[in-house]
Structure 1
Amino acid sequence: MKCIFLVFYLISIINTRSVHCGLFDILTKDNGEDVTSNEKVIFTEPELLQAIDLAQFSYNQLKTMEESISNSRIQLSNTSSSYAQYLENLPNNYTKEYDKIAQIVLKASKYLLNNNCKKAGLDDKKCVEAISTYKLPKCDLLEQCEQLNKTTMSIKSYRRLLPAHYADGLSKMFDLPSPKNISNSFFDLTRPDVDLINEEAATYEGVVDEERNVALVQWSQFIEHDLVKTVFQIMSNGNPIECCQDDATNAPPRYRHPACSPLMVDVSGEDYNRLPSCLNYVRSALNVNEDCSFGPAQQINQASNYLDLSQLYGNAEDITDTLRTFYNGELKISNDPLSPTLPEIDDIEDNHLCMHNTTIDTVCYKSGDSRVNVNPYVTTLYTLFLRSHNRIAKQLQKEHPTWNDTELFAYARRINVGIYQKIVYSEWLNIVLGISEAATINNRNPTTCINDGKVSNEFATAGIRFYYSMMPGDLKTTKDVSYFVRQNNIIIRPMTEENILKLKEEYYKPRDLAEDEELENIIDAILKQKAMAMDTGYVADVAKHYYRFQNNQQKDVGTDVLALDILRGRDHGLSTYTKYLERCTKTTIQSWTDLKSYINNEDLERLKLIYTDYDKVDLIMGAIAEQPKPGATIGETFSCIIGEQLTNTRCSDKNFYSNLNDPIFKQFVDNYTGAKLICDTTRLTRVPRNIFHVPSEKNPMIYCKDI
């Protein structure tokens, strides 16, 4: 029946020549002659309109399928790792509208490619290049696209450092080695003593960084939350998409949404009933081009594109208003004024921003970003900047008693953002890129910048994700015991090591940070504990237990952050690692041998076993395998991508802290450091001078009263 309906639908289109489309012709030039593969690709307006109508019809058919899926047993459980991914990539109402129109435009582009170009024997690449030069013709879809781009809440796409890299030029991913198998290969290599099924007894976590602490990981994730928010596609009825059944196997074809591209895991024998074979992945939501043109998939960035603490304040006024007290310029806090934390989600508000956990007492915090509850490392930093805002607002109110709430809030926000930007560019950047590279960025002439106010897809999808390699599974603290002992005729008080948290048990299951100086204990441990080395060795908590939960079969199911990052890079059409290395180093890579200068032999040999060609290595896989540059945390390619982005972010922000000469602003921001932020917002009495290095003789602990 559906096929018969489609035939009659197409006949009606041709006969009526509706306002949306015209007569379907073969690909023609203006004079009506056939186009050969060697001639310029030209589409007539009727062909463009025809493609749009076919795409709209396909989208409507998808809505019927989605209703069937919504009524099936393939549902997203709010205790699953899939739900945690959904929270990580939660779309707002604005992005849903952009994605809907962008999906129709992409479908129309595919019709032009498959029905026009392929039938005419034209090259895919040339055809896509031609398609991308065409703007939507006058029709309802064009009006909707233009209206969205005029809204005050204009959502931006990621920009690209290299052209979109898809098998069909539009959105089809290349057939490459399984992301999960790639991740497993490196995990098995770095953890030879681990039983993949039962890891509880395993103690090996990998190589640690002897200088950098967990605060570097914490701040890197916080910066990501500010600049990057990739969101999932959802169904037209607003329901989230689940690609796997509740027993962690692939959904049946009739219930498998076209946006699904799950991580499939090879399991056999005795492992079959203990390991998941399907891990959820939903393709990212899309944005329309700013000129409303056809062309390849362009992913949405729901973040604000600037270092403006949008993760704390929200990136739209209506979100910010829900977080304000509208009294003395302050933000809402929890009910404990002595140890203020983020406001908690109550029963009336959306209480779905966390996962249920019966093992520990949990709360669920509210902030400007749905990722606030992802793990204690980053939740604590959200809390510090909340406290910082209210501290500044109180001081401003004392110094300027005639200012109203709006003035106090705006000034406190601007100062808080300035403090944050200063720490990022004066301290964090020095550790990540090295002092020399950071100085180059900070001294860059703004007139030489790209200055387009967008985040690159490469930064968002690969570059800033380096910190997951450095994330520890356990956070520990050392404390003095209550007794003294004699050691070599010297009386000492021994230290005891206590485990504060296990990361795999904490994803979207936040604890009460106001209780028993919980926040101070976590911050103190973050400052003193060494981070893992930035390399191909990920700890089990992110390589095996990312977003861990227990399914209906009482099996522990977790996903894999590296595998997800590899897959997301392909979903977003990132080019291969060597193409970015060539762009960054201005060299030519022609063989595996050319990579020896950047990647150690062990990792290079492993990459050779996985990939058939040196020029097919995924960007994130090649870049995390690179040896760090001297004085830096990361290697050549990530340094290039992150440096380019931080340069553009600084240059495109007219309110960047170094551009503001207001004396009130400078009074707060000048000479401010990360150490002072922690002293001003916690009850700690001593902190490391450099908050991104572990305490040492070169980086001593200093008293807050002396800062």
Structure 2
Amino acid sequence: MAESDERTRLLTNENRPQYSFNSSIARERKKRVKQFQCLLCGIFLCCIIVALIVSIVFSINVTFDDGTASNNSTNETAPVEIFNILMSQTWPLKDEEIKNITSNDSSQWKAALLFGSKELDKKDNIELNTPTLPVDTPSYRHQKVTPTSIKALQLSRIGYLEEYGAKYMHRNGSKGAIMKICPNVTSNYLDEFCQKSTITCNELQRYRSFDGTCNNLKNPDKFGTSFRPFRRAIAADYGDGISSPRVSKSGQPLPTARTVSLIVHRPFYRDDVKFSVMLAVWGQFVDHDITATALSKGSNGSSISCCGDQSTIHPECFPVIIDKDDPLMKDNVTCMEFVRSAPTPTCCLGSRQQMNQVTAFIDGSVIYGVEHSLVSSLRTMQGGTLKMYVTKDNRTLLPVSQNVNDGCNREDARKKGEYCFEAGDSRSNENLHLTSMHTIWARHHNNIANNLSRINPHWNDEQIFQETRKIIGAQMQHITYKEFLPILLGPEIMKSFNLYPQKTGNFQSYNDSVDATIANNFATAAFRFAHTIIPGLMKFLANDSKSPEFIEMHKMLFNPFKLYEPGEMDRALRGAVNTNIEANDPFFTNELKQHLFERDEEKNNTKTKRYGLDLVSLNIQRGRDHGLPGYVEWRSHCGFKKPETFSDFSYDMDEYSLSNIKSLYRDVEDVDLYTGALSEKPLNGSILGPTLTCLILDQFIRLKYGDRYWYENPNEEIGFNPRQLDEIRKTTLAKIICDNSDNVTHIQPRVMERISQNNDNIPCEKIPRMNLTYWKDNLRKIPMGDNQMDVKTSQSNDIHIS
């Protein structure tokens, strides 16, 4: 009998023979069955894996795990139709006419203005007990980055008085829609803004005024000038018809701006590999050249706190409310600081308007300022140059600011002798890239001024300064319309509306009936689209381009001190031209949504923990503060079909953004312009959707067609001769960076686009440079009795000065 082993049955009721081996046939059969089963399992598993991969890829492109949508698809079914609609409009678009009535009742006018004066006194008394913001806080820095000049502060007081005068007028006799009530009586408050212009303009004046006056000879102190109201393309939509922030069509409050930010504008990171961060840098630089909204301040220029002591609430407060489900509520944060934009005076009593403190024209005011006192403070008054600070290693930076309350200067930096900077625009310290751009252009001004002084030694300081400023403004216009706008609008629209710079000759379409004034919607919503393309991490690159350093974006805010270190500006510039932007869509980096103006030491200090601001919430809130009508009204203004239901949005928005919007807003007409426009799919050849394309196109048409000093205009007395114009057309932002950085030696020619086969890194010397010898005066000596006199003559064809 066979011996027992591990295969022997312990219990058995049958006698069976014990074999010393199994059948080979049976073993083979079992083996093949197992192989077949494994094959089937493998095929099934592969199918599952493939399906999983496809679903993940699809979800990356379409939706996140929280249900939020990506907006990477373009509006491919609509471009022809949308383009045809745009082409069928009369450009620039006609602004909506606001009805007005004339009042001859002097007693009513007197009573209305007296009521406004009393309300202004009340505001001043409230400010005696209203707390100000702590200096070293994100909210204080935010208020500092929206500056209000002394002149704007004074004007805003009249605007506030008028606002309450309008409320008195409409409360006492006016019925129906709010209209402008214009005086037919004398008023000390309104006469300055109602009487026809008394400015005398010289139409052959060679140089622009600093404040934009006399650009338009028919409206010399209105079209495009500084310290005037933004232009209203559509009548304001205020809760009370006059000044209170916009509300739902039902009369109920709109969803809080913070909730819209959290639900619709969630964080998502998707690069646009075609364009560089320099696109956003230039966009901000140009934006600061043409817009500067005045913010409400205390009567002495102090900041206003809205989330502190609730017993005394300032009438200009409009804080962002934090909902109960907001993550900030776990730390008992119920309110985000927000102060309304300052009101501006107008001739008539009507709805509240906001003030632009700078000129509308692309004229370099961001470098020089718009008030004579500021311009003079930035000049050396020698050789037409600007003041600069010289570092220990003999580099030039912007002049320093020693104002400890500017929201930028820091104690630890001051101990090292490092300060923030001063420029023609007080926002120059907002981020390191912007400060670098200011520095580049101030250096560029001085380089041009020094060369003009050498070429024309008989020119005095004023002539050199003004001629340099004129060239700088022309170069800024050329870069904006040659390199920047085509990315925003696409080549087809640029060509169709004659927005590209001329290749030869002059631009012949200046129209003095075109009002170049910046639209309220442009400054408050449309041109803020660029916030969505800012990445959370900024790259810094050394010369070798192989050792990148990445810095969180919020650490660059109000932190220009790296510029004191040799090589750091070059690393920042190289990083900007070598970092992808984020895709233009409804989604934002958390650097802007959670950490705006935050400093790490404040965040980590448990005793005084302070949270960064949410820029998206602030942008939405600003639109409501300004009474911007809802998104659907702007669609209609542009000539597109006005949506009547949420399903009408599906043509231009992806379903996930639309779903989030629908979950928050009660009515299709409630959707904010900023949220609706950013949620549109971009058009082919552009990074913008239809509504943003329309609103930005309209403004830049006005800035070109409505600028008498546009650099390509044919009048040589105030413009440039043909050869000078040819030299200005050589301008590229790449060359200006090359010539005015410390040691950038290689760069791609189109710096707002990423490096590619057709835009590769090349040595700086291969990029064309403007030849200033065409600005040389030809002087011929003419006998005058016993003396000789230098007389300027036409330039010869063979001028060559090294």
Match 2:682 to one of 628, 632, 655: 628
**Distance in 2 between the 1:706 and 1:147 partners?**
56
Q: Is the 8 A contact 1:566 1:618 kept in 2?
A: yes
**Residue type matched to 1:651 in 2?**
Y
Return 5+ residue gaps in structure 1 as ranges. Answer: 1-39, 192-205, 246-250, 482-493
Query: What's the CA shift string for 1:528-573, capped at 9, x where partnerless?
Result: 1101111111111111111114288331311111111111111111
Other-structure match for 1:638? 692
Shift of 1:82: 1.9
Identify the residue that residue 248 of structure 1 maps to in structure 2: none
**1:72-114 deviation digits (Å, cap 9, x = unpaired):** xx22222112211221222112111211111111101111222
Q: Corresponding residue for 1:179? A: 257
TM-score scaled to structure 1, two decimals?
A: 0.82
Q: Given that residues 544 and 559 in structure 1 are in contact (C-alpha distance below 8 angstroms), is that contact kept between their aligned partners in structure 2? A: yes
Is it true that 1:262 corresponds to 2:319 in the alignment?
yes
- Work out whether 1:79 is the aligned partner of 2:117: no
Aligned-partner Cα distance in 2 for 1:643–1:340: 37
Contact 2:190 2:348 in 1 (8 A): no
- Are the equivalent residues in 2 in contact too, given 1:212–1:531 (CA < 8 A)? yes
Between the aligned partners of 1:657 and 1:149, the Cα distance in structure 2 is: 26
C-alpha displacement of 1:255: 1.9
> 1:473 & 1:275 partners in 2: Cα distance?
27
> In the alignment, which residue of structure 2 is the partner of 1:391?
447
Per-residue deviation, 1:642: 0.9
Query: What is the match of residue 311 of structure 1?
Result: 366
Q: Could you tell me which residue of structure 2 aligns to residue 674 of structure 1? A: 733
Q: Specify whether residues 479 and 299 from structure 1 end up closer, same or farther in structure 2 by C-alpha distance, changes over 3 A only.
A: closer
Distance across 2 between alignment mates of 1:76 and 1:149: 40
Residue of structure 1 equivalent to 2:189: 141
Q: Does 1:169 align with 2:241?
A: yes
Q: Give 3-state SS (helix, strand or coil) of 1:476's partner.
A: strand
CA distance in 1 between partners of 2:384 and 2:146 (Å): 30
8 A Cα contact 2:103 2:183, kept in partner: no
SS in 2 for 1:596: helix
1:299 equivalent among 351, 354, 357:
354
Structure 1 residues 549-560: aligned runs within 5 Å: 549=599, 550=602, 553-560=607-614
What's the counterpart of residue 796 of structure 2? none
Q: 1:516 aligns with which of 549, 552, 566?
A: 566
Determine helix, strand or coil for the equivalent of 1:312: helix
Instruction: Give the partner amino acid of 2:588.
Output: Y
Aligned counterparts of 2:546 and 2:740: Cα–Cα separation in 1: 27
Q: 1:287 aligns with which of 324, 344, 356?
A: 344
Q: Within 5 Å, give how 1:192-591 maps onto structure 2.
A: 206-245=269-308, 251-252=309-310, 254-267=311-324, 272=329, 274=331, 276-289=333-346, 292-336=347-391, 338-346=394-402, 352=406, 354-356=408-410, 358=412, 363-439=419-495, 440-442=497-499, 446=509, 451-477=514-540, 495-499=546-550, 501-549=551-599, 550=602, 553-591=607-645
Q: Shift in Å at residue 298 of structure 1?
A: 0.8
Structure richer in helix, relative to its length? 1
Asked if structure 2 preserves the Cα contact closer than 8 Å seen for 1:449 and 1:648, the reply is no
Contact 1:243 1:256 (8 Å CA) reproduced: yes
* Aligned residue identity for 2:728: V
Which of the pair has more CA radius of gyration? 2
Cα pair distance change 1:532/1:148, threshold 3 Å: farther
Could you say what secondary structure the match of 1:287 adopts? coil
- Report the Cα distance in structure 2 between the residues aligned to 1:326 and 1:704, rounded to whole angstroms: 32
Return the alpha-carbon distance in structure 2 between the equivalents of residues 139 and 423 of structure 1: 46
Return the alpha-carbon distance in structure 1 between the equivalents of residues 541 and 190 of structure 2.
62
Structure 1: distance between partners of 2:698 and 2:154: 31
| Contact map agreement 1:687 1:703 (CA 8 A) in 2 | yes
Bigger CA drift: 415-424 or 660-669?
660-669
Contact 1:52 1:108 in 2 (8 A): yes
Describe how 1:28-47 pairs up with structure 2 within 5 A: 44-47=105-108
> What is the alpha-carbon distance in structure 1 between the residues aligned to residue 285 and residue 762 of structure 2?
25
- The one-letter amino acid of 1:67's match is L
Tell me what 2:58 maps to.
Answer: none
Deviation sequence 1:639-676 (CA, Å, 0-9, x none): 11111111111122211111233367436413211221
2 CA distance for matches of 1:344 and 1:465? 29
Q: Displacement of 1:146 after TM fit?
A: 5.5
Amino acid at match of 1:163: A
CA distance in 2, matches of 1:133, 1:163: 15
Q: Partner of 2:746 in structure 1?
A: 686
> Helix, strand or coil for the counterpart of 1:68?
coil
CA–CA distance in structure 1, aligned partners of residues 288 and 323 of structure 2 = 33
Q: Is 2:725 the partner of 1:653?
A: no
Of residues 52, 58, 73, the one that matches 2:113 is: 52
CA contact (8 A) 1:48 1:136 kept: no
| Kept after mapping to 1: 8 A contact 2:683/2:690 | yes
Change (3 A) 1:269 1:329: closer
* CA distance 1:257–1:415, shift in 2 (3 Å): same
Question: Secondary structure of the equivalent of 1:211?
Answer: strand
Aligned to 2:755: 695
> Could you tell me how far apart the structure 1 residues matched to 2:613 and 2:493 are?
35
Query: 1:403: Cα distance to partner?
Result: 1.0
The TM-score, its normalising length taken from structure 2, stands at 0.73
Deviation at 1:583, TM superposition (A): 1.9
User: In structure 2, what is the Cα distance between the partners aligned to 1:480 and 1:508?
Assistant: 25
Output the CA distance in 2 between the equivalents of 1:68 and 1:218: 40
- Residue 614 of structure 1 and its aligned partner are, at CA, apart by 1.6
The aligned counterpart of 2:779 is none
Quote the offset at 1:404 in angstroms. 1.1
Q: Give distance in 2, aligned partners of 1:298 and 1:221.
A: 23
Kept after mapping to 1: 8 A contact 2:256/2:323: no
Aligned equivalents of 1:449, 1:216: Cα separation in 2: 31
Mean CA deviation greater in 94-103 or 550-559: 550-559
> What percent of counterpart residues are identical?
27
Change (3 A) 1:148 1:460: farther
Which residue pairs with 2:646 in the alignment? 592
Measure, in 2, the Cα distance between the counterparts of 1:148 and 1:242. Answer: 39
Q: Distance in 2 between matches of 1:359 and 1:390?
A: 27
CA contact under 8 A between 1:626 and 1:636: conserved in structure 2?
yes
Give the Å deviation of 1:699. Answer: 1.8
CA distance in 1, matches of 2:492, 2:320: 40
Question: Which blocks of at least 5 consecutive residues in structure 2 are unaligned?
Answer: 1-100, 200-208, 212-225, 248-252, 501-506, 714-718, 768-802
Return the letter of the residue paired with 1:629. L
Task: Please say if residues 291 and 360 of structure 2, whose CA atoms lie closer than 8 Å, have aligned partners that are also in contact.
Answer: yes
